[in-house]
């Protein structure tokens, strides 16, 4: 079946690549109302938008014979936020426009600028690049935009987030007034709307993003865990899913460095991407992921922008994203081009309510699950091993000879056992999560005749549980299990007792380790009590409690009226 498009040569190129029907965004830009107009397209990454804007700019690029129009200066300019994305776009447009005779030139950081200038001087109908490098060529006179017919801003929201506003404005100001501007963005924040108003005229809004699910091919999961369990939960998730390629998002380069080292120690094939890595290091890391020498990438948000990794099926938010847009940008690295993906949020217990609100506001139906246990991982390993060994194979002569020798020297049971052990020894061991440990003993016991009560700012509303509170308190306070007494879970906080003789030492240790757990605060209980929950107030007290300021005096108006002077 031929890809139906008004441009026969582009249709031939698409058919040769196996395209049989347009995606939603590709079909939308080919509608009659979209032809010749400025466009604001809101489409998720991985939805085929590169081909979409390649088709959208065709009317200004091609003659009646389907060939590229002759031009001394570029007809189309495509601006992308990162080097990787720009090069990916350039590759896509090169094969798409190859039958038309169009010449595509790429201008990105990390490449030889003199070579790019020579390519621009040699004539190019389509120029693809990053904002900074394109601006440099423009200011040096190597890039002439006076004859531009179409300007495309790919992932415009990310370019503004990365601080490229001035570069974009200088580039667009250098283009003629009559050019079309196609703005592609996964989200539409206010700065994007302002940019569109300034540089577009009568733009058509196209949205193919499914707002109800965040991303139609991504299954969202959330896991509320103890802060001390996060790294072990990452290990277990990687082992449980055994994804072809996975990306783990951290908030800072220091956290990327730490997690990368920890996973490397455990035996995972892992690379790192953050602001401290050079372009050459980034290239080597991405190539290792593409040729399967590495299967896990630990990255910051900025470093991962524009990355397109085939086979990426798992995204783990090791640290909670700052907002729903960041969550969707991160998660959009998977579930691309019709493939299914999984995005998992690791949520420290104290932050569960915030994350629930973020998911609710973004209309993302995440499933709340427990992280996989070591037993569940071993069971999954067994299923994967059986599936692998029971799959029919076509052995070579050398393999057959080895198999016959093994059968002559060992029993089938011994050979099968050796295979199982060889499979298991190459896999990193799963971790025992703190949350799975036995709950602490409740109530008074010897040594707690004199005790001091403390407060921790997580309670029933945060899913607090003694099973994960106990290890947290021991680690933060540098005490043993036997030195933590009763634990009381209240609404917004929990209280626990420590023997009075060690209370000062415990408090000093807690203060020294205050930065270990985001949002977890441990302080002395002012009333030195278990803090039993108060009785439910009657309706009038509830109304007063919701009002700012002191409780209302219900007799105030009556007294004021009675005391008002006559006359």
- Each residue's pLDDT tens digit, 316-344: 999 998 888 788 878 877 876 567 889 99
Average pLDDT, the chain: 83
pLDDT for residue 156 is more than 90:
no
Angle at 485 between CA 482 and CA 489, to 5 degrees: 135
- Which pLDDT does position 336 carry in this prediction? 65
pLDDT for residue 436 is more than 50:
no
- Each residue's pLDDT tens digit, 177-213: 989 999 987 777 788 888 888 999 989 998 875 544 4
Residues 432 and 372 sit within 8 Å (Cβ to Cβ): no
- Each residue's pLDDT tens digit, 280-307: 888 888 888 888 899 999 998 776 766 7
- Classify 399 as helix, strand or coil: helix
- Phi then psi dihedrals of residue 347, to 5 deg: -115, 110
What class, spelled out in words, does domain 437-567 have in CATH? Answer: alpha beta
437-567 and 218-373 share a CATH fold: no
Domain positions in the chain: 8-207, 218-373, 437-567
Considering only 50-64, 84-98, 293-307, which range has the smallest mean pLDDT? 293-307
pLDDT band of 466, cuts 50, 70, 90: confident
Distance of CA 121 to the CA centre of its chain: 40
pLDDT for residue 437 is more than 50:
no
Angstrom CA distances, 136 to 132, 144, 183, stand at 6, 12, 22
Buried b (16+ CB within 10 A) or exposed e, 24-42: bbbbbbbeeebeebbbbbb
pLDDT band of 2, cuts 50, 70, 90: low
Half-sphere exposure for 298 (CA within 13 Å, toward CB): 27
Residue recorded with tokens 């199982």: 420
CATH superfamily to which 218-373 belongs = P-loop containing nucleotide triphosphate hydrolases (3.40.50.300)
- Which pLDDT does position 464 carry in this prediction? 82
List, as one string, the DSSP characters of 207-222. E---TTTSSTTEEEEE
What class, spelled out in words, does domain 8-207 have in CATH? Answer: alpha beta
pLDDT band of 414, cuts 50, 70, 90: confident
H or E stretch at 273: strand 270-273
What is the CB neighbour count within 10 angstroms for residue 269?
13
- Which pLDDT does position 227 carry in this prediction? 82
This prediction has a pTM of 0.56
Angstrom CA distances, 434 to 155, 369, 450, stand at 41, 16, 29
Region 469-488: what's the mean pLDDT?
Answer: 87
- Each residue's pLDDT tens digit, 378-410: 888 888 888 877 878 788 888 888 888 888 888
- Classify 202 as helix, strand or coil: coil
């Amino acid at each position: 079946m031929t890809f139906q498009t008004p441009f026969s040569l582009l249709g031939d190129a698409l058919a040769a690549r196996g395209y049989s029907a347009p995606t939603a965004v590709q079909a939308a830009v080919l509608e009659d109302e979209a032809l010749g107009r400025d466009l604001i397209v809101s489409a998720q990454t991985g939805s085929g938008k590169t081909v979409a804007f390649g088709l959208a700019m065709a009317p200004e690029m091609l003659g009646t014979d389907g060939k590229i129009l002759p031009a001394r200066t570029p007809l189309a300019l495509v601006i992308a936020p990162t080097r990787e994305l720009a090069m990916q776009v350039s590759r896509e447009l090169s094969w798409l426009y190859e039958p038309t005779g169009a010449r595509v030139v790429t201008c990105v950081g990390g490449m030889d600028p003199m070579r790019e200038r020579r390519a621009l001087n040699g004539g190019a109908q389509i120029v693809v690049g990053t904002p900074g490098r394109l601006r440099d060529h423009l200011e040096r006179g190597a890039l002439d935009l006076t004859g531009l017919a179409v300007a495309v801003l790919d992932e415009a929201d990310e370019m503004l987030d990365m601080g490229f506003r001035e570069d974009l404005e200088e580039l667009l100001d250098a283009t003629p007034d009559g050019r079309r501007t196609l703005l592609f963005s996964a989200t539409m924040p206010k700065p994007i709307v302002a940019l569109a108003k300034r540089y577009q005229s009568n733009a058509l809004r196209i949205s193919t993003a499914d707002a109800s699910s965040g991303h139609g091919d991504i299954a969202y999961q959330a896991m509320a865990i103890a802060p001390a369990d996060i790294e072990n939960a990452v290990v277990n998730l990687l082992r449980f899913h055994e994804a072809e390629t996975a990306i783990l998002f951290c908030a800072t380069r220091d956290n990327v460095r730490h997690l990368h080292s920890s996973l490397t120690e455990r035996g995972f094939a892992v690379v790192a991407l953050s602001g401290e890595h050079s372009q050459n290091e980034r290239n080597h890391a991405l190539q290792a992921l593409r040729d399967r020498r590495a299967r896990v990438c630990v990255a910051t948000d900025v470093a991962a922008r524009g990355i397109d990794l085939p086979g990426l099926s798992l995204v783990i938010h090791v640290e909670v994203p700052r907002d729903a847009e960041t969550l969707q940008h991160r998660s959009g690295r998977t579930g691309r081009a019709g493939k299914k993906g999984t995005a998992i949020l690791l949520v420290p217990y104290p932050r569960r309510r915030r994350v629930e609100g973020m998911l609710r506001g973004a209309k993302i139906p995440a499933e709340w699950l427990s992280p996989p246990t070591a037993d569940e991982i071993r069971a999954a390993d067994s299923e994967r091993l059986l599936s692998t060994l029971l799959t029919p194979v076509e052995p070579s002569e050398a393999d057959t000879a080895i198999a016959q020798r093994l059968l002559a020297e060992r029993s089938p049971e011994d050979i099968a056992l050796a295979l199982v052990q060889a499979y298991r020894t190459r896999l990193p061991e799963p971790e025992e999560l703190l949350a799975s440990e036995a709950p602490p003993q409740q109530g008074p016991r010897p040594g707690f005749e004199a005790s001091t009560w403390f407060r921790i700012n997580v309670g029933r509303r945060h899913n607090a549980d003694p099973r994960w509170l106990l290890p947290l308190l021991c680690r933060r306070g540098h005490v043993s299990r036997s030195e933590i007494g009763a634990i009381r879970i209240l609404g917004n906080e929990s209280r626990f007792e420590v023997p009075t003789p060690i209370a000062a030492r415990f408090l000093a240790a807690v203060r020294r380790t205050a930065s270990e757990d985001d949002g977890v605060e441990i302080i002395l209980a002012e009333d030195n009590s278990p803090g039993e929950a108060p009785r439910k107030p009657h309706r009038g007290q509830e109304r007063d409690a919701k009002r700012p300021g002191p409780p209302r005096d219900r007799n105030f108006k009556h007294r004021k009226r009675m005391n008002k002077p006559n006359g």
